[in-house]
Amino acid sequence: MTSTAALAAAPSARPFKDMVWVPGGAFLMGSNDFYPEERPAHRATVDGFWMDAHPVTVTEFRRFVKATGYVTIAERPLDPADFPGADPELLVPGALVFRKPPQRVSLDDYRQWWAYVPGAAWRHPAGPDSGLDGRDRHPVTQVAYADAEAYAAWSGKALPTEAEWEFAARGGLEGKIYPWGDELTPKGRMMANTWQGEFPWQNLATDGYEGTSPVGSFPANGYGLYDMAGNVWEWTCDYFTPRHPDEVAKACCVPQNPGVLTPDQSYATGEPGAHIPRKVIKGGSHLCAPNYCLRYRPAARQGETIDTATGHIGFRCIVR
């Protein structure tokens, strides 16, 4: 279905500008062909909804902060109770910033390319000395889950469930690898801002962007949605589970508007931050590369601790 056809089928007038109608319906969610957390592929259905055509931009987020005085998680003092054993003097507000190592490094240790940078926050996405010059139309980053939720509430919108987000990302295509089909670069065309070259030390940027890109720099999918694959990961309101529910045999029992409302399965046992629940993020980012993280796909998903702010996660909203 094209976006024009989808719009024609919308039950109500567009509630806010820059939103498109996603018609809802049955679809194949997940994938059996990539990472274990995407399995099993299974039927699900979602009702129709309106969705932001692109991730929330710096300009849009600035408007929210100006109107409300909102202070993001990355700007707030840290609670020592969340970091048992840590030196309280080191507990300073900040966020995770990607730093490209100068040479090939072991892929086993993300600290080779992620740094916790005091003073990094949405206004200073790469650290205290960085700013937002030229980034007005880029997705806002360095936003934790509560920040995304606060923005959504203020704007009269909501965050999508994983099923809603994935249905939307598929753009009306059934079971395809990417939002536009099965080929990464049809006729040689770059369709999303991802990572070309060998992650994390060699960024060839053949798509034109080393970091985030202005929203809408690549073609929209079948529903008129931009940047569903790549650019920034996007928060959803579902708690993470290590796998999807099994496919059901009978059509009667296909999950309708599924969502994961309890955090029980979301904890990353044995890892730092294991006591902090994780929500599902979708769509991959400009840092996703085939040699490390082939996740610029609708089925791809990761669990992210809800207090994490980083330079490759943003969000977009919906109206049900």
DSSP 314: E
Is 209 an interacting residue with respect to Ca ion (CB under 5 A)? yes
288 in contact with Cu ion (CB under 5 A)? yes
Q: Is 227 in the site for Ca ion (CB under 5 A)?
A: yes
CB of 193 to Cu ion, least distance (A): 12
Q: Residue 288 CB, nearest distance to Cu ion (Å)?
A: 3
| Residues 189, 112: Cα–Cα separation, whole Å | 31
Helix (H) or strand (E) holding 44: strand 42-46
What interhelical angle do 58-68 and 145-154 show, nearest 10?
Answer: 70
User: Which part of the chain contacts Cu ion (CB under 5 A), choosing from 7-15, 54-62, 150-158, 283-291?
Assistant: 283-291
Least distance (Å) from Ca ion to the CB of residue 195?
6
- In the complex, what is the shortest distance from the CB of residue 25 to Cu ion, in angstroms, rounded to a whole number? 28
46 vs 288, beta carbon nearer Cu ion:
288
Looking from the CA of 122 toward its CB, the CA atoms found within 13 Å total 29
User: How far, in Å, CA of 87 to CA of 203, rounded?
Assistant: 35
> Omega before 200 cis (within 30°)?
yes
Q: Is 283 in the site for Ca ion (CB under 5 A)?
A: yes
In terms of DSSP H, where are the helices of the chain?
A: 3-8, 58-68, 145-154, 162-170
- Asked if 295 touches Cu ion (CB under 5 A), the answer is yes
Count of positions (residues) in the chain: 320
Give the residue at shortest CB distance from Cu ion: 293
Is 211 one of the binding residues for Ca ion (CB under 5 A)?
Answer: no
Any contact of residue 193 with Ca ion (CB under 5 A)? yes
**Which does residue 288 touch among Cu ion, Ca ion, none (CB within 5 to 8 A, set by kind)?**
Cu ion
By a kind-dependent CB cut-off of 5 to 8 A, residue 124 interacts, out of Ca ion, Cu ion, none, with none
Which residues, 6 or more positions from 260, have their beta carbon under 8 angstroms from its beta carbon?
162, 238, 239, 240, 241, 266, 280
Residue 143, exposed/middle/buried by CB under 10 A (0-12, 13-18, 19+)? buried
Q: Fill in the per-residue mask, 23 to 42: x = in contact with Cu ion (CB under 5 A), - = not in contact.
A: --------------------
Kindly state whether residue 52 participates in binding Ca ion, applying the rule CB under 5 A. Answer: no
Residues 59 to 98: which contact Ca ion by CB under 5 A? none
Contact in structure between 66 and 29 (CB atoms under 8 Å): no
Binding mask 145-184 for Ca ion (x = CB under 5 A): ----------------------------------------
3-state secondary structure of 25: strand
Binding interface with Cu ion (CB under 5 A)? 284, 288, 293, 295
Contacting residues toward Ca ion, per CB under 5 A? 193, 207, 209, 227, 231, 283, 286
